[in-house]
Amino acid sequence: MDLESTIVAISSAQGYAKRAMVRISGSKAFSGIEKLGVKPKFGSVLSSKLDIGENKLPVLVGAFPKNSSYTGDQLIEIQLVGNPILARRLVSLCIEATGGREATAGEFTARAFFSGRISLAQAEGVSATISASNNAELSGAALLREGALSKLTKPVVSVLTRTLALIEAGIDFTDEEDVEAISNSNLNCELNSAKESLSSIIHHSVPMASLRYLPKVVLAGKPNAGKSTLFNYLIGKQRVVVNKISGTTRDAIEEGVIFGSVKALLVDIAGLENKHDNISYSSQITAQNAIANADLVLWCVGPNDTAPSANEQTIVVKTKADLRDQKEGAICATTGVGIEKLKIQIAELLQLKTIVNLNAIATLPRHEELLSVAFGGIEGAETNSQTPELCAACIRDSLHALGKITGRISPDDVLEHVFSSFCVGK
């Protein structure tokens, strides 16, 4: 990977917006921006204007010195109006002024890794943050980005490194009868300590893929209880047919909805009833399965229906407030009465269900595999504790796997795979 060239890229989202950002990193970043007529000071933001063609473009320019920036090299960030055409022209000007080139995908973060500013696991946390689609993913990505996994594995690496050094010292002095670098009991104690620590990390980790799961909110109730009308109101469009005749909905219909800050899958199912024809039986099985797999059930109760008991997985929704004598606590999906309060209640319950355990570490498939290999290496070392050469080889395998997590021991193909998943400008 080329780490010497000065690189330039748009680091904000593509398309039109209020603001855009162009980022420059490399040894010629500062001198390049000076050629464009701007003389920023390190550690401050300067308001200035850049000549783009015959026009003067107002910009904000921030400058970060070498070893104090994200990439570990000189870094210039230019904020401008969010016009993609202007941003592209500015990128061309900056490349010409610095004699640099346009950055490749993930190159800014790759430089942060190679300069020792972040670990490989933290770099993957940056990528996970960019691609996060819900709060749970953001929380999990934040743990990675802040180096939680690297911090947890560091003590294990220290124990194994110390143990390996003692074993190898014992091998080197094998001819000296009175020299014992590490006793068998101390060896097993150290290995057991490392294994317990690693086991704790594995058992308290959460696969990042599982955080992409959208909680399911199922609308249930008897036929003609107002489920479909409420469904249409919550998704903001006429998605399902609404009819006074019961049994209009036969299949489970799903749509994505955001309650507060939590994205969920809203599911409308057939009304629950006792019918024995083939079509009704099939729709009832589908409805029951949807309820069984729901994270939250909105049990719709019409004016003449009996309300079930509410619990942490069920919200009883009294529908058709316009047809009730007692309207307190009821909603009306045709007028919107009570709907906002219901949305808040749904959001609060879903928020509790999607909070990432503060003791849990979000892991990517690569991390899961390496943690498993490291654990297996320690088990192998325990099994071969009586044979120093084999024990040492197993510990080396374990250390090599843990090193790949932080990037201290990582082949080029692993690094290329990690950073290629980024977008340009990151």
Give tens-digit pLDDT for 321-364: 888 878 788 999 888 899 999 999 998 888 777 655 545 677 88
- Residue 179 scores a pLDDT above 60: no
- The DSSP annotation for 344-401 comes to HHHHHHHHHHHPPPTT-EEE-HHHHHHHHHHHHHHHHHHHTTTSHHHHHHHHHHHHHH
**Weakest mean pLDDT among 144-153, 173-182, 269-278, 307-316:** 173-182
Percent of the chain with pLDDT over 70: 84
Confidence tier at 413 by pLDDT (50, 70, 90): very low
pLDDT at 275: 65
Query: Is pLDDT at 168 greater than 50 in this prediction?
Result: yes
* pLDDT for res 198: 93
**Alpha helix ranges (H) inside 204-277:** 227-235
Q: Is the pTM higher than 0.75? A: no
What's the confidence (pLDDT) of residue 414? 42
Strands 314-318 and 296-301: parallel
How buried is 44 (Cβ within 10 angstroms: 0-12 exposed, 13-18 middle, 19+ buried)? exposed
Give the C-alpha distances (Å, rounded to integers) separating 140 from 100, 265, 406.
35, 21, 17
16-39: pLDDT as tens digits: 889 999 999 999 999 999 999 888
Whether 418 has a pLDDT exceeding 60, the answer reads no
Q: What is the pLDDT of residues 188-232, one digit of tens each?
A: 999 999 999 999 888 888 777 666 677 899 999 888 888 888 998
- 50 phi/psi in degrees, rounded to 5: -115, 140
Helical H runs in 76-134?
A: 84-98, 107-114, 120-131
The pLDDT tens digits for 52-103 are: 877 888 999 999 999 889 999 999 999 999 999 999 999 999 999 999 999 9
Cβ–Cβ < 8 Å for 369, 141: no
Edge-to-edge strand ranges of the sheet holding 19-25: 45-52, 55-64, 75-81, 19-25, 7-10, 101-102
Q: From the CB of residue 289, how many other CB atoms can be counted at a distance below 10 Å?
A: 12
Q: What is the pLDDT of residue 411?
A: 45
User: In this predicted model, which residue has the larger pLDDT, 383 or 271?
Assistant: 383
What is the residue-averaged pLDDT of the chain?
Answer: 83
139, 351 contact by CB (below 8 A): no
- Partners of residue 46 on adjacent β-strands: 61
Across 285-358, the runs of DSSP E, i.e. the strands, are 296-301, 314-318
Q: How far apart are the first and last CA of the chain?
A: 16
* Domains of the chain and any CATH numbers: 7-103 (3.30.1360.120), 124-204+360-420 (1.20.120.430), 216-353 (3.40.50.300)
